[in-house]
Structure 1
């Protein structure tokens, strides 16, 4: 206490008067005199603090306000002055700690609202004040303010993670999850912590998640909420889950009154029904533990319906018993009516357990079921394959940030009433965009932002109106927003093609195809390579890659189609040898193709045509021999084979082949064609004794003697011209047997030949 209180009071009053008159230097002198009289009194120090503050000597002001606070034993008035000057000096961390201390004092006085105001100001100035966040989280939790409490627990988790206390950070998230088991921000935080990703980087906007266009995670996780937002409501379950829960409760209620087929209600059924009735009542009243107990007993007693398992799974989920919930949902998922909701709930539970791969697998099943209901039957296989590729990119390839963003987007997509209409609208937009290849609802969730799809839609509309340059600009905008989003690149390639820039379009699709191959999307790569060869039919390298992909993935018919196209391209380029080699290579694959396509015959004809055009009769003969085996009914093949045997100097084989075909015609009831075929052959080769012999016999059988004599006469002349005397003699004797009108002349010639 002051040694001379009168002098102390005199100087203190002078100091205050000088302050009133804004004579700051005089005030400082007076307060210093007062301190000399009473060095442990807070008032003169506070006066000095105010005077120095007005003179903008902030360091001295802070020093004196701190002394005032110390000697007053923590008077809130002085502490507030300390915090204010600290804030002005930029000492935000120290200011935050001071406001934290003020909040503690207010709490001790049972002034909770004032305490919270100071804690909120403390964490605004210094976000890493763990105690302030703990205080706020505790108060919000008791008040039932779910969203602010979750925000504080997430802040606690961030701070603990930064200090290397991963398990405690996860515990903070678990506390938040108890308030709302389906909160996507808490689930995201758990994933990031388990993956070792820094939550503070997310807050600073440097996360890979944001780089994909999914901004706002920081704001959702840690933004300061107005007091008007202190709603006790949890995040609603996704609409399909809500629908399934209502359906399950209705079904269970109906079953209680369904006695059809029951001659009498036995004691066990009565007990099961009683337990189900109790469970439903507890569930409606929010008495979760009691509802769980009744469902467990009912199921143990034989109530084994999907509805009961689904409801029990939801209740387990609400109590954070995720492993138990998973077991129940895995039973319910086998029932068609609960499949969609069960897959979704499984995704949520696995995500809460940190098993993001299993979560994504189930979430993709949800989207696949929804999407399959919107497409044509013939599109189903391609859609399923696209979802397999999406799962691979999100899980196998380790794109964890994209996986988290996808999960959040799916939850958001299905969390509102009218989600079915949203699905139909999304499918309509995707179908309008995807001229070049099918798109899936997953594209909506992985595009990065609505702007990407909007730009693609506008691009498509501009292209339809012939405004190609504008369409290209809009597509480039989409690519800038999401550089790795392949549907945008596909759209660009399509517009370039429509504009007539086929070479550029082909190059674009070549890049797309290579990217799909790297990503393991074989169907996507095949689609893109097919576009390349459509726009550049002579691009043999692209077609070769396409054929290789098709072969390796069992799409043999398509591979053979492109083999034929490649052979034709080589032929157009005058590379006939390469064309033949291509057909020959395809021929090895042909047995694996569809029988109805008759690939071997198609390819053999291509090969034979080339050989015939090059007068390579022997190689052509080989091809036609195979063709004859493949298609024994084909007349052109049979006659060409006979002709080739003659051309290679094998008349005996020619006649043998001819006889086989003629016999075949007779046996199959087409004998009327025989004489015409022989006449054609004799006209081509009138000097062939074997052909004339066969035709003349037919003429004789048909009593066409004069025609038989005519062809034998021509044969004899040909034999004489060829100095075949023996043959000519034999032919004249045959003519004489037919009693020709000029028999004497034939006898004269015969006599001369036999001399």
Structure 2
């Protein structure tokens, strides 16, 4: 026996096996010899003999989980994973009988790693996590169990597993999404729900749906539940400070100062880790007094001061910790706690807005960034005047950002917002979602309607959205989603009314940016909708947005032109130009309105007024050839012959210089067709055709000029003919 132990210790597997066999020949049921033989055979790759040894040991010690674990390890090394998983599960049950739940969990997690679909092991894990008061881990086990049932085709049992998860946390985003997905699948399978069979979809749509369905199927991980932002940052701060204790780089500190810092810092970290906050704070303050300035130290002390409700001191430390990106978000959350305790909910909301903006901008990256910054800038001034939305924001942000699954949750919210607002003027932030009471849950519930809409199941999607709106009639996100569903269902006029109503709601809520987006969305569907145009015009003027204001003026002019109300159209055009003049706008900003004035003048056959407006447009952009050819035509129609010829002559010179004379000839021919008896135009055309080598076309125009001259009693006047032999 002794020789076997020595050989095993020295990893001499063959010698150990021989010694243990000899010992077992004399004492066949010796537990230590069986254990040693099993271990040596496992390491030597003699798996069958190892299995035999550990099985014999199991018979000798039926309630001992150790030989069962050893046997599971042998099976795992031999590649017999199903048998290994079975024995890890059995070992976990034996640990439970010994009241050692934590070791039972470790064994069961190992079983799941080898065989992820072991339902009985997942059920045992879920029960154990509940007994250990680890609800997040229990929920993940329940979701993994649901996934296993889905893979086995038993959707009803999968739904029961998800329901167990929701009993722990009714607002858990992945569990809610899993519930809705399973309900939809059951409805399709049983035919009891409102869903018809799915239409065929492309590969890209199938892949997107698969990603959405898999989002709630999170892998089961070993150990404690994920860590929230504050605990994660604190753990990082303590690790950084512990590393400083062993650092030999003392920077500008003297050896004596560095020794004092080392000594105090080590004791402080130890006290902090054991929850002795006051002692840790006193030691940290000594280190600060010795001159050490470090973001990790500022965060650690700020966190303690927050817990001790010394909020003024905490705020000072946390502000300095925010200089490091590692502590920025967690510091904001602790500062929000301090503001709440000070009875300053407005300042707490501002902290949460800062945190949400940072997540939106730095972690989730929605575009465009400038509009995102502008939206948060507006909300910081808006939210103090709206206590109900402020309270919802504080509650929602605290619940999400201080939860272990905060990253998954904000990602889910961001994705839902982007889905509903794609290709619309709406630019929603995380804050917009959380200002709505139960905004996160609302978006999760709307996710079912979105999924059905993407499958082409419009009526089912609309029915689900209407149910949600009935339960939350003052939730703008629900109405926005309903409007989008109406668009996707080709109910354009109803959708226009919905977005107009939504715009009026935002006006009532003093949110002009969202109101403008709602009216712009209505105009995307009905560009000539006068009520929406009038609202958009007023809003853009109030916000001082020149581009949108000119756009609104132009839209109103188009609406009146469509109704053949030229007087109103001209009046709106002039109002727009006057507004632009008062604000110093000029150049291209005026072009849309001047083009409408040209159209109005043309419809009235008022060529003098058309010339006036076209000349202004030529001044704005002399390179705009379409405007200049139009001006030449207006000169002709206004009987301003000399100006028309001068304009055409200049245009042809530009075309020659650009090498595009042939292209210009089609415009010139149109003018000649308009005024066929104008010899000056034909003379310019003949000259150009000769330059292009098109002699027949040149001669045709020269003959028309000669015929015109004969009719007028003129023959070969100087300058009125071109030598056809010249180039």
Indicate yes or no: 2:322 matched with 1:325.
no
**Aligned residue for 1:240?**
229
User: Which fold has the larger relative contact order, with Cα–Cα distance below 8 Å and residues 6 or more apart in sequence?
Assistant: 2
Match of 2:644 in 1: 654
Choose from 505, 528, 548 the match for 1:538. 528
Distance in 2 (CA, whole Å) between partners of 1:265 and 1:704 is 94
Aligned-pair CA distance for 1:502: 3.4
SS of alignment partner, residue 302 of structure 1: coil
1:623 to 605, 613, 634: 613
- Equivalent in the alignment of 1:309: 298
Q: Displacement of 1:357 after TM fit? A: 1.2
Aligned residues: 499
Contact 1:608 1:623 in 2 (8 A): yes
Contact map agreement 2:241 2:265 (CA 8 A) in 1: yes
| Structure 2 residue aligned with 1:503 | 493
Cα distance, 1:348 vs structure 2? 0.5
Based on CA coordinates, which of the two structures has the bigger radius of gyration? 1
Cα deviation, residue 311, structure 1: 1.1
Counterpart check, 1:645 vs 2:632: no
Offset at residue 645 of structure 1 (A): 2.3
Partner of 2:464: 474
Contact 2:580–2:586 (8 Å) recurs in 1: no
Q: Given the alignment of the two structures, is residue 420 of structure 1 paired with residue 411 of structure 2, yes or no?
A: no
Determine which of 244, 248, 266 is the counterpart of 2:255.
266
Partner of 1:45: none
- The answer on whether the counterparts of 2:502 and 2:515 sit within 8 Å (CA) in structure 1 is yes
Answer with 558-567 or 324-333: which moved more.
558-567
Aligned residues of 1:686 and 1:711 also touching (Cα < 8 A): no
Cα distance in 2 between the residues matched to 1:454 and 1:679:
64
TM-superposition CA deviations, 1:569-602 (whole Å, max 9, x none): 3232222343444455555677999x99955445
Distance 1:472 1:540 in 2: 28
Of the candidates 285, 289, 300, which is equivalent to residue 300 of structure 1? Answer: 289
User: Residue 609 of structure 1 is aligned with which of 585, 595, 599?
Assistant: 599
Secondary structure at the residue paired with 1:378? coil
Superposed CA offset, 1:268-316 (max 9, x none): 3333333322322332233333322232232233211111111111222
Contact 1:459 1:472 in 2 (8 A): yes
Query: In structure 2, do the counterparts of structure 1 residues 703 and 294 end up closer, same or farther at CA, with 3 Å as the change threshold?
Result: closer
Change (3 A) 1:739 1:637: closer
How far does the alpha carbon of each residue in 1:581-627 deviate from its partner, in whole angstroms, 9 at most, with x for none? Answer: 4455555677999x999554454444323423432211111122223
Is 1:366 aligned to 2:355, yes or no?
yes
Supply the distance in 1 between the matched residues of 2:482 and 2:693 (Cα, whole angstroms). 77
Judging changes above 3 Å, is the alpha-carbon distance between structure 1 residues 710 and 386 closer, same or farther for their aligned structure 2 residues?
closer
Structure 2 distance, partners of 1:310, 1:390, is 28
The answer (yes or no) to whether the contact 2:677–2:708 under 8 Å persists in 1 is yes
Q: TM-score, normalised by structure 1?
A: 0.57
Tell me the secondary structure at the aligned position of residue 364 of structure 2: coil
CA contact (8 A) 2:683 2:705 kept: no
Cα RMSD after superposing both structures: 4.4
**Structure 1 pair 621/250, CA: closer, same or farther in 2 (3 Å)?**
same
CA distance in 2 between partners of 1:707 and 1:510 (Å): 59
Would the aligned equivalents of 1:374 and 1:427 in 2 still touch at CA under 8 Å?
no
Tell me, which stretches of 5 or more residues in structure 2 are unaligned? 1-169, 172-224
Q: CA deviation at 1:346?
A: 0.4
Instruction: Specify whether residues 579 and 271 from structure 1 end up closer, same or farther in structure 2 by C-alpha distance, changes over 3 A only.
Output: same
Q: For 2:724 and 2:617, locate their aligned partners in 1 and report how far apart those are by CA, in whole Å.
A: 44
1:361 Cα deviation after fit: 0.9
1:517 touches 1:525 (CA, 8 Å); kept in 2?
Answer: yes
Question: For residue 286 of structure 1, what is the aligned residue in structure 2?
Answer: 275
Q: Shift of residue 567 of structure 1?
A: 3.1
Q: Which residue matches 2:107?
A: none
Aligned residue runs from structure 1 range 246-261, under 5 A: 246-260=235-249
CA drift of 1:517 comes to: 1.8
How far apart, in 2, do the equivalents of 1:394 and 1:460 lie? 29
Distance 2:383 2:664 in 1: 69
Alpha carbons of structure 1 residues 264 and 641: separation in structure 2 relative to 1, 3 Å: closer
Is the contact between residue 591 and residue 617 of structure 2 (CA under 8 Å) also seen in structure 1? yes
Q: 1:349 aligns with which of 323, 338, 355?
A: 338
- Residues in 1 aligned to 2:541 and 2:620: alpha-carbon distance in whole angstroms: 24
Q: Provide closer, same or farther for how the CA distance between residues 450 and 535 of structure 1 changes in structure 2, counting only shifts above 3 A.
A: same
Q: Which residue of 1 aligns with 2:141?
A: none
Residue in structure 1 matched with residue 397 of structure 2 by the alignment: 410
Partner of 1:87: none
Deviation string, structure 1 residues 70-109 (Cα, Å, up to 9, x no partner): xxxxxxxxxxxxxxxxxxxxxxxxxxxxxxxxxxxxxxxx
C-alpha contact (below 8 Å) 1:496/1:502 kept by paired residues: yes
State the match for 1:489 in structure 2.
Answer: 479
Q: Label 1:330 to 1:649 Cα distance change in 2 as closer, same or farther (>3 A).
A: same
Hey, what's the Cα distance between the residues in 2 that align with 1:507 and 1:685? 50
Cα distance in 1, alignment partners of residues 505 and 257 from structure 2: 62
Contact 1:556/1:592, CA 8 A, preserved across alignment: no
Note the C-alpha offset of 1:253. 1.8
After superposition, give the CA deviation of every residue in 1:25-57 in whole Å (9 maximum; x if it has no partner): xxxxxxxxxxxxxxxxxxxxxxxxxxxxxxxxx
Map of 1:528 onto structure 2:
518
Cα pair distance change 1:425/1:501, threshold 3 Å: closer
Q: Rate the CA distance shift 1:597–1:425 in 2: closer, same or farther, 3 A.
A: farther
The unaligned stretches of length 5 or more in structure 1 are 1-212, 215-235, 741-755
1:90 is matched with: none
Taking the aligned partners of 1:253 and 1:502, their CA distance within structure 2 comes to 63
8 Å CA contact 1:571–1:579 kept in 2: the answer is: yes
What TM-score, normalized to structure 2?
0.58
Indicate yes or no: 2:327 matched with 1:334. no
